[in-house]
Each structure stands twice: as structure tokens, then as C-alpha cells.
């Protein structure tokens, strides 16, 4: 069979992402069927399947082979195009106990007529032809699927079931930008062990050690999902590359696994569910239930990010807290946030950011003082993308919290609309 280099490379890039932290040799199964091939991998935490569609060649047959993922990936690097160098489809044949991969690299050169003039086709484009410049051939040893028990997890996984619904439980189709985009933002939460979606609560969330992130997720048809942050990050990287606009999601009937499948049923991943600890859920709920004062301060996001970077640039200890104080300028009718940083010796820095808008009475927040670890704050707001950041202060008898949200601005009325990602952190 002949397969496109880009398809093969993409599949083994996926496998290297999935297994990159495994120090032992890791194997994948290649399932050949005439002109098509499935790339398969399974372990207790994740099952992966990608279907590749190629061209048939004489001698093609149906068989399964086990290959070393890193070895196969390194050999595919030999076929990598670069600059003006292109690669023809890769032919894969059986040679003894090895898979033989062969192709040629070529340049695309313009065609000239006998008078030295460029030939123009009927479509008005210059005609080009492929000029072969290199032949590439390599062999990768494979193992029979029954040759060793160490391959059993990968060889025995029911890959065909990844694409099928279960009794009384069908896939839910959701826009990829919503599903994968939400997880992409959540995985940036510092030290978060899990990323979860709770349609009942109307949110997705990631409980970190220093702060908690939540993101709006209103698709009530999507099942409740809780995944390891590490596996979530790998899933995100795999599906970001897929060209489809939607994904299909299913929580298995036993609640143990989450299936994610692309639109055309050519890519499927099944991840083991990891439920958040009760302490992590309790932390989230305590933040959600902490009453915030009436004051809402809205800052230009770029300006706010710049302030954070300024503070970090003069800090000697990244884990130290800086004093933050809110002040009201009655003459200018402006609310400001002042950051004081005292360094070694006589060095002292004061940076003030002016709120674009504020609501509530000045007395609701004027004079409030917080102690903020700006290194954590910098990480917390790194996924924010909207033009405006809104800050509110919540208080309990024992602590203060910052509630920071990214806010959309109506392009016509300039009024603030819905909030998206929200970060809670102690202050």
C-alpha cells in the first residue's frame, strides 16, 4: 500500500505525545487491510485509533504488525519534506520480519517549450513536473501480534467499539472549538490534577492548588466528564490537528471511560475518567458561595497583563506576595489598583492601573488591601483572551478572595456582555 507521509507522521506524532513520559519501549499495532491501515494503541489509561486511507499495490494483504513507536517515528523522519523538497506517498511492504518503507523525494520544476518559454496550461497556470532527486528506503522490524504477552493490551483492545454507541447511550455531537477549546484553557491551570465538565452546574472547571479555574459550558447534552489534566492535554493536542469542526463524545455506561471521536470516524480516543477529590470540589464550592462585594472593577486586559509583567520584573522572590490596594480619585471619578513592591536596600516600586469602568459605591472597595502572589496571578490569567478583565473581591471571616473574569465587550454599544473564564484565588 501507499500512504501519504503527512498521515503517517501525524499518527505517530500522536502516539509519541500519548506515551512520551513512558521510559520503557512502547509498541503500537498496525492493522493492514488492503489499501487502508489503522494505527492502534492501548494501555490502562488511554486507547487510541486512527484510520489511514491509501492506495493499493500489488501484493497488499490483510495482517497485523507490532512496531516500536519511537523506532517507527524516527524512521519516518527520513521521509520528512523540507523547503522545496517534496515526498511522494510512502510504499509499505513486508520484507521478512520487517516492514519496508520506500519513497522518493522530488522537486517541482517548471516546464519549458522548445523555444525556452514557460508552458502555460489551459487553466492559465504554469505547468510543472516532478523531478526526482532522491530515493529513500528503510526497514522497521515488526513482531507478530501473538508473539509476546507484553503486546496484549494493544492487540486485544476492541478498537471497532470506539466508534459505536452503547445500549441506550448515544454519542453527543459538540463543536470542536467549544469542547477542545474549553479543555485547552483549563489545562493551563497551575497544579490542577483534573479537568472536568459538569453540565448540571453549567461549567467546566480545573481545581488547582493555588487557584481554581472555571469556564462556562452550557451544552447540557454533553455528559459529566472528569479527566486527568495530563491525559486531557494529550487529547487536546491530538484533536487540535484534526480538520473537522465537531467531535462526538460519549461517557461509557459503566462511567469508567470517555470516548471522543472526530466527525468522519477516522480518529478515536478513549480516556479513563478520574473523579475530582471531594476536597477539590469543596474548594470550588466555597469560592462559588463566597459573597463578593458590590464593586466591579473592569480593566483593559493588555494593560492588566502588562502590570503583572512589570511587577514580576522587579521581584526577587517569585513566590512572595505583593501588597495591592484599591483607591478612589474623587476629582477624576476613577478607581485605581495600586501595587507596592519593596525590594532590597532602598528600592521601592509603585505601579497603579486605572479601571476602565467600575460599578458600585467607592466605599465598597476603597481601602481594601490584598496580598497577591503575582507569579500565580500571571499563570492564572494566561488563558484570558477577551479585551476586558473584571475583578471582584469576596470576603469570609478568615480570608479574602479575588474573583477575576474575562469579559466580552459589545462592539456596537461597547457595553459589557457575558463573562467566560473565571479564576478564584486567595488574597
Return the C-alpha cell found at 42.
492501548
Torsion of CA 352, 356, 358, 363, to 10 degrees: 30
- Residue 190 scores a pLDDT above 90: yes
- Please compute the mean of the pLDDT values over residues 76-87 and round it to a whole number: 95
**Structure confidence at residue 410 (pLDDT):** 60
Return the C-alpha cell found at 237.
493536542
Judged on CB neighbours under 10 Å (0-12, 13-18, 19+), 391 is buried
Average pLDDT, the chain: 90
Torsion of CA 416, 292, 403, 389, to 10 degrees: 20
What's the pLDDT tens digit per position in 24-36? Answer: 899 999 999 988 9
- For 285, the enclosing helix (H) or strand (E) is helix 278-289
**Structure confidence at residue 346 (pLDDT):** 57
- Please compute the mean of the pLDDT values over residues 148-158 and round it to a whole number: 85
Return the C-alpha cell found at 300.
483593559
Q: What is the value of pTM for the model shown?
A: 0.87
Say which residues have a Cβ less than 8 Å from residue 5's Cβ, sequence separation at least 6.
76, 79, 80, 81, 87, 89, 90, 103
- Residue 148 scores a pLDDT above 80: no
pLDDT bracket for residue 201 (50, 70, 90) = confident
**Structure confidence at residue 22 (pLDDT):** 80
**Structure confidence at residue 412 (pLDDT):** 47
Q: Residue written as cell 466580552?
A: 408
Q: Find how far residue 278's CA is from the centre of its chain.
A: 26
Rg of the chain over all Cα atoms, to the nearest angstrom: 28
Architecture of domain 290-426: Roll (3.10)
- Residue 122 scores a pLDDT above 90: no
Architecture of domain 169-276: Roll (3.10)
CATH superfamily of 2-155: DNA Polymerase III, subunit A, domain 2 (3.10.150.10)
Fold match between domain 2-155 and domain 290-426? yes
Domain ranges within the chain, ordered by starting residue:
2-155, 169-276, 290-426
Amino acid at each position: 500500500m501507499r500512504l501519504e507521509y503527512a498521515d503517517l507522521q501525524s499518527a505517530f506524532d500522536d502516539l509519541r505525545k500519548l506515551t512520551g513520559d513512558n521510559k520503557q519501549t512502547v509498541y503500537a499495532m498496525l492493522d493492514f487491510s488492503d489499501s487502508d491501515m489503522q494505527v492502534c494503541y492501548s494501555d490502562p489509561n488511554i486507547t487510541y485509533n486512527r484510520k489511514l486511507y491509501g492506495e493499493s499495490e500489488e501484493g497488499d494483504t490483510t495482517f497485523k504488525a507490532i512496531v516500536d513507536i519511537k523506532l517507527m517515528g524516527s524512521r519516518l523522519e527520513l521521509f520528512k519534506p523540507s523547503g522545496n523538497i517534496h515526498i511522494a506517498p510512502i510504499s509499505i511492504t513486508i520484507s521478512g520480519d520487517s516492514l519496508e518503507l520506500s519513497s522518493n523525494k522530488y522537486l517541482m520544476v517548471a516546464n519549458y517549450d522548445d523555444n525556452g518559454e514557460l508552458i502555460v496550461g489551459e487553466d492559465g497556470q504554469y505547468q510543472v513536473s516532478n523531478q526526482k532527486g532522491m530515493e529513500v528506503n528503510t526497514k522497521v522490524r515488526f513482531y507478530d501480534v501473538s508473539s509476546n504477552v507484553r503486546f496484549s493490551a494493544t492487540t486485544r483492545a476492541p478498537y471497532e467499539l470506539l466508534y459505536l454507541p452503547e445500549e441506550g447511550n448515544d454519542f453527543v455531537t459538540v463543536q470542536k472549538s467549544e469542547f477542545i477549546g474549553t479543555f485547552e484553557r483549563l489545562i493551563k491551570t497551575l497544579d490542577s490534577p483534573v479537568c472536568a465538565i459538569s453540565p448540571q452546574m453549567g461549567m467546566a472547571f480545573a481545581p488547582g492548588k493555588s487557584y481554581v479555574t472555571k469556564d462556562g459550558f452550557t451544552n447540557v447534552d454533553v455528559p459529566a466528564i472528569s479527566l486527568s489534566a495530563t491525559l486531557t492535554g494529550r487529547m487536546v493536542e491530538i484533536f487540535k490537528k484534526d480538520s473537522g469542526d465537531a467531535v462526538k463524545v460519549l461517557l461509557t455506561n459503566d462511567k469508567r471511560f470517555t470516548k471522543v471521536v472526530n466527525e468522519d470516524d477516522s480518529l478515536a480516543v478513549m480516556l479513563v475518567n478520574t473523579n475530582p477529590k471531594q476536597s477539590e470540589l469543596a474548594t470550588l464550592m466555597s469560592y462559588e458561595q463566597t459573597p463578593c462585594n458590590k464593586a466591579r472593577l473592569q480593566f483593559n486586559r493588555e494593560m492588566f497583563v502588562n502590570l503583572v509583567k512589570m511587577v514580576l520584573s522587579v521581584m526577587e522572590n517569585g513566590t512572595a506576595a505583593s501588597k495591592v490596594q484599591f483607591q478612589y480619585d474623587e476629582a477624576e471619578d476613577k478607581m485605581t489598583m495600586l501595587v507596592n513592591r519593596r525590594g532590597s536596600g532602598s528600592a521601592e516600586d509603585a505601579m497603579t492601573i486605572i479601571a476602565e469602568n467600575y460599578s458600585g459605591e467607592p466605599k465598597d472597595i476603597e481601602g481594601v488591601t490584598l496580598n497577591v502572589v503575582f507569579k500565580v496571578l500571571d499563570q492564572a490569567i494566561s488563558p484570558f483572551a477577551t479585551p476586558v478583565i473584571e475583578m471582584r473581591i469576596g470576603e469570609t471571616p478568615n480570608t479574602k478572595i479575588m474573583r477575576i473574569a474575562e469579559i466580552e465587550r459589545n462592539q456596537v454599544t461597547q457595553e459589557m456582555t457575558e463573562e467566560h473564564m473565571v479564576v478564584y484565588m486567595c488574597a
